[in-house]
Amino acid sequence: MSEPSAAASPRFLTAALYRFVDLPDFASLREPLVALCEAQQVRGTLLLAPEGINGTIAGPEAGVRAVLAHLRADPRLATLTHKESWSDRHPFYRMKVKLKKEIVTLRVPELDPNKTVGRYVKPQDWNALLADPDVVVIDTRNDYEVAVGTFKGAINPNIKTFTELPAWLDAQPGLEAAAPGEVKTTKVAMFCTGGIRCEKSTALMKMRGFDEVYHLEGGILKYLEEVPPEQSTWEGECFVFDERVSVGHGLKPGPLELCRACRWPLTEADKASPHYVKGVSCAHCHDLHTPEQKANLAERQRQTELAQARGEVHVGARMARREGELEG
């Protein structure tokens, strides 16, 4: 995405990135990366694992581009691609570079997206695939993400974490793994936020014996960036794992707000619920916390508002990422 005009005056560039590649020395990459990000005032989260890198960073444009250049200086990451968007406030409060077993957790050790994945479908060709009545279209994201937006006609597995996807597939007639020597002929198309989860989910389908497996290249974010609203089959907003909460067409920040008690994305209707208390509860979690927990949440919200009145950021107000999840 090109730099916006001065009239729009956004200040921060966000870059979502991932790449599956063998990184046996991944742990040694962490400290230089942390130092560079801090020096460049870049924040966000990056995951490093033996299978590659995944994450989202944001900051001044020059800083973000310096970090991307540093990553691509490693020959193994020379072809690393990223997706850009802009915002007028920093979408992250701190920088984290974490060492993980997987850059997106599925817990299928024999799976290797470097060897086989589904066929990539360009955003401009995605609508035609969705219109094919013989294609089973699966949203591989978690329930709270699907709740705020998805493609028309897509199946929602209603999973709470990506690791639940294999078991869900096992329970669906026609989507279970093939018998030895069998080739599954069902056409399957899968999509996710930025593409990384589909690298693994389509590799999983190929491993389970499915021949025709498709994958939205660049994920929902690339689709919303490139496909005009009047041609779009996307309905709603796209949840993202930072303080923007959601984006719409053109990757413009959306109207959703996060419940600070349970991290569920809230609409204006959600906030009109009698169970909604800012920073304390919403209709999704009002009965999940004890009175003591609610009192602690209320105090955190009070401290957050006091900090805001002083022009400061209260660390307790930051959006905690759901464990093991990033845009993807």
- Is residue 313 very low, low, confident or very high in pLDDT (cuts 50, 70, 90)? low
- In-domain check, residue 314: yes
Q: Which of 37, 192, 238, 282 does the annotation list as catalytic?
A: 192
Q: What average pLDDT score do residues 1-19 get?
A: 72
Considering the domain architecture, whether residues 89 and 126 belong to the same structural domain is answered as no
Three-state SS string over 130-181 comes to HCCCCEEEEECCCHHHHCCEEECCCECCCCCCHHHHHHHHHCCCCCCCCCCC
Can you give the pLDDT at residue 89?
86
pLDDT at residue 30 greater than cutoff 50: yes
- Is residue 315 very low, low, confident or very high in pLDDT (cuts 50, 70, 90)? low
Instruction: Give the pLDDT confidence of 194-251 residue by residue, as tens digits.
Output: 999 999 999 999 999 999 999 999 999 999 999 999 999 999 999 998 888 999 999 9
- CATH number, residue 64: 3.30.70.100
Burial class (CB in 10 A: 0-12, 13-18, 19+), 121: buried
- In-domain check, residue 223: yes
pTM (2 d.p.): 0.85
The pLDDT > 70 percentage for the chain reads 92
pLDDT at residue 325 greater than cutoff 70: no
192 is catalytic: yes
* Higher-pLDDT residue of 315, 49: 49
Average predicted confidence (pLDDT) for the chain: 91
- In-domain check, residue 19: yes
Three-state SS string over 272-304 comes to CCCCCECCCECCCCCCCCCHHHHHHHHHHHHHH
Considering the domain architecture, whether residues 268 and 314 belong to the same structural domain is answered as yes
State the total domains in the chain.
3
Structural domain that includes position 124: 119-229
Can you give the pLDDT at residue 9?
57
- CATH number, residue 223: 3.40.250.10
Considering the domain architecture, whether residues 124 and 221 belong to the same structural domain is answered as yes
Considering the domain architecture, whether residues 17 and 83 belong to the same structural domain is answered as yes
- In-domain check, residue 234: no
Instruction: Give the pLDDT confidence of 65-102 residue by residue, as tens digits.
Output: 999 999 999 999 999 999 998 888 888 989 999 999 99
Q: What average pLDDT score do residues 105-125 get?
A: 94
